[in-house]
Amino acid sequence: MELNLNGIKDVSAWSTYKLPSYDIQAMQKETSANPAWLHFGSGNIFRAFIAAAAQRMLNAGITDTGIICAESTFGTEIITQCYRPHDNLCVSVTLNADGSIDKEVIGSVAESLTLAYDMARISDIFNSPSLQLVSFTITEKGYAIKDSTGNLSDAVKADMNNGPQNCTHLMSILASLCISRFHACNKPLALVSMDNCSHNGEKLEAAIITIADAWKDNGFITDAELDYLKTSVSFPWSMIDKITPRPDSKVEASLVADGIKDVKAFVTHGGVYVAPFVNSERPEYLVIEDDFPNGRPALEKAGILFTDRNTVNKAEKMKVCTCLNPLHTCLAIYGCLLGYTSISSEMDSPELKSFITKMAYEEGMPVVVDPKIINPSDFLNEVLTKRLPNPFMPDTPQRIATDTSQKLSIRFGETIKSHLERGTAGNLKYIPLVLAGWLRYLLAVDDNGNVFTPSSDPLLNECQKSLSGIELGAHVDEAQLHSLLSNANIFGVNLCDAGLADKVTAYFNELISKKGAVLSTLKKYTV
């Protein structure tokens, strides 16, 4: 069995797989001529969720165009090794909580492009009057134009000084492409971040407009060009939720056993785990602000929820600040410290299960904002009883621990702010214990005293330097941790000003007191 357009013609060989029911080649031809949807970010969440939603529309005859996918970095491996050898097809494997699996061949990607070699084609797509939306799953880092100190990155400064031609940062490239669209057709456009970060549309808009403002100040663009970006391009907010772990070896083995050739997973030079297949959980949520000035695909017929910005914000805050992401980060930090290699197995730990349950119900739910479109209690119950304990989901604390410094401000800082407003921040126990756990994690020594390699994080080295010289058995005072604890960019608030630094310091001292102190501290405070 070959995963390509010719291979899937042998329907009997693929009898246990759901195949596209539309004419893929006809879809590709129509999409090429009249592109409606371009997506940057070719990873797992795109293929398992967004491309799958597009396929549902195609299968139902709701649309006759698919998605054009572009890799968001100048790397080409995922396109050249996963997409193009398989005619842009992908096997999506859904891992249900009851142990059953559903396998589907996704064919909705009409073209796969790279920034390195396909800029001319990307520009043509941007200039097409039929283009309605450009969406993104590029991780929160993809929108960052400033470093941890708040200064513009060197790449962005160079782009600002050089003008719209030959940009190197994706945000600059997008601004340039939008200006090109203004001259080519002057049609409006929606740029839609679908990344798992709060106020994602705002982050995207701020980055692009900041760069464009600099170009205007430097004489590279006109008032009319800048006005187009500010008035004709929308930046809808969204909330996305679907767990898509790294390609799992057991899933790969099952596909090979079915007879599919060339589906081996690999790691890109950028450290990304990819394969011609994706594995993911069943639950999925995508809520999008309905602001599409050039129209949009009928994605509501594929299960996507459209609403106003305020509702999106509430849904995002519910998930990111209360009902899922803080629990994930807690399990990631302490899972690494305690030697776990799967999230589901952590849920068998009385200490960890109690930890996240108490944190969610006692510190998160009292300040949760109900978006109405999704019920917070039902959502949290699904997370605690079905999603996190799913033994068939091969997700790891090591994966989730990636970029933790970029996540803490939203996942915990917003809840701290809510408690500060209510005057209840002094009662917090579990959130400070998570933050102390992260400091303990930065030492890169597990609870048995063994060295481990922390997951990648842009601030890892900087934060570890702040803890230089601290070892197991040491005792530190708040002053030694001040540079970290006072960093509102990391924690969302200055923990010293919030009155929580002493509590985090005390927990940290317990966690570093000796080997085995991590588990004993959890037993003390969570069970």
- Angle between the N-to-C axes of helices 325-337 and 350-358, in degrees from 0 to 180, rounded to the nearest 10: 150
Q: Can you tell me whether residue 192 is helix, strand or coil?
A: strand
Identify the residue whose tokens are 């119900």.
361
Q: Which two tokens stand for residue 207?
A: 């980055």
Nearest to 462 by CA among 433, 435, 490, 430: 490
Q: Do 159 and 24 belong to one domain?
A: yes
Q: What residues make up the domain containing 489?
A: 310-526
Q: Do 87 and 224 belong to one domain?
A: yes
Query: How does pLDDT run across 440-473, given as a tens digit for each residue?
Result: 999 999 999 999 999 999 899 999 999 999 999 9
How crowded is residue 293: how many other Cβ atoms within 10 Å of its Cβ?
15
Q: Do 296 and 374 belong to one domain?
A: no
- Amino acid making up residue 180: S
What confidence score (pLDDT) does residue 59 get? 98
- Amino acid making up residue 378: D
What confidence score (pLDDT) does residue 299 get? 97
Could you tell me if residue 248 is inside a domain? yes
Q: Do 302 and 379 belong to one domain?
A: no
Q: Do 341 and 243 belong to one domain?
A: no
Q: How many domains does the chain have?
A: 2
What confidence score (pLDDT) does residue 222 get? 97
Whole-number Å distance between alpha carbons of 72 and 57: 25
Q: Do 268 and 315 belong to one domain?
A: no
How far, CA to CA in Å, does 218 sit from each of 161, 175, 272?
7, 15, 37
Could you tell me if residue 93 is inside a domain? yes
Whole-number Å distance between alpha carbons of 136 and 253: 31
What confidence score (pLDDT) does residue 196 get? 86
Do you know the residue count of the chain?
Answer: 527
Q: What is the pTM of this model?
A: 0.88
Cα dihedral 246, 250, 255, 256 sign? positive
Could you tell me if residue 241 is inside a domain? yes
What confidence score (pLDDT) does residue 271 get? 84
Q: Which two tokens stand for residue 436?
A: 């102390």
CATH number of the domain bearing residue 374: 1.10.1040.10
Helix (H) or strand (E) holding 289: strand 285-289
What confidence score (pLDDT) does residue 369 get? 86
Q: Do 158 and 87 belong to one domain?
A: yes
Whole-number Å distance between alpha carbons of 125 and 70: 11
How crowded is residue 154: how many other Cβ atoms within 10 Å of its Cβ?
11
Last residue of one domain, picked from the residues 306, 341, 367: 306
Could you tell me if residue 2 is inside a domain? no
What confidence score (pLDDT) does residue 197 get? 83
CATH number of the domain bearing residue 136: 3.40.50.720
Could you tell me if residue 258 is inside a domain? yes
Q: Do 273 and 323 belong to one domain?
A: no
Last residue of one domain, picked from the residues 291, 306, 321: 306
Nearest to 207 by CA among 175, 231, 181, 247: 175
Walk along the chain (527 residues) in steps of 10 and give the mean pLDDT of each run.
97 97 98 98 96 98 98 92 97 93 97 97 98 95 86 96 96 98 98 92 98 98 98 97 93 96 92 93 96 98 97 93 95 98 96 98 95 96 95 92 93 96 97 98 98 94 94 95 95 97 98 98 96
How far, CA to CA in Å, does 145 sit from each of 114, 233, 293, 402?
21, 20, 26, 19
Q: Do 319 and 217 belong to one domain?
A: no
Last residue of one domain, picked from the residues 276, 306, 336: 306
Q: Do 486 and 339 belong to one domain?
A: yes
What confidence score (pLDDT) does residue 456 get? 92
Could you tell me if residue 253 is inside a domain? yes
Could you tell me if residue 1 is inside a domain? no
Q: Do 241 and 219 belong to one domain?
A: yes
Could you tell me if residue 229 is inside a domain? yes
Q: Do 300 and 319 belong to one domain?
A: no
Q: Which residues contact 230 (CB under 8 A, 6 or more apart)?
A: 209
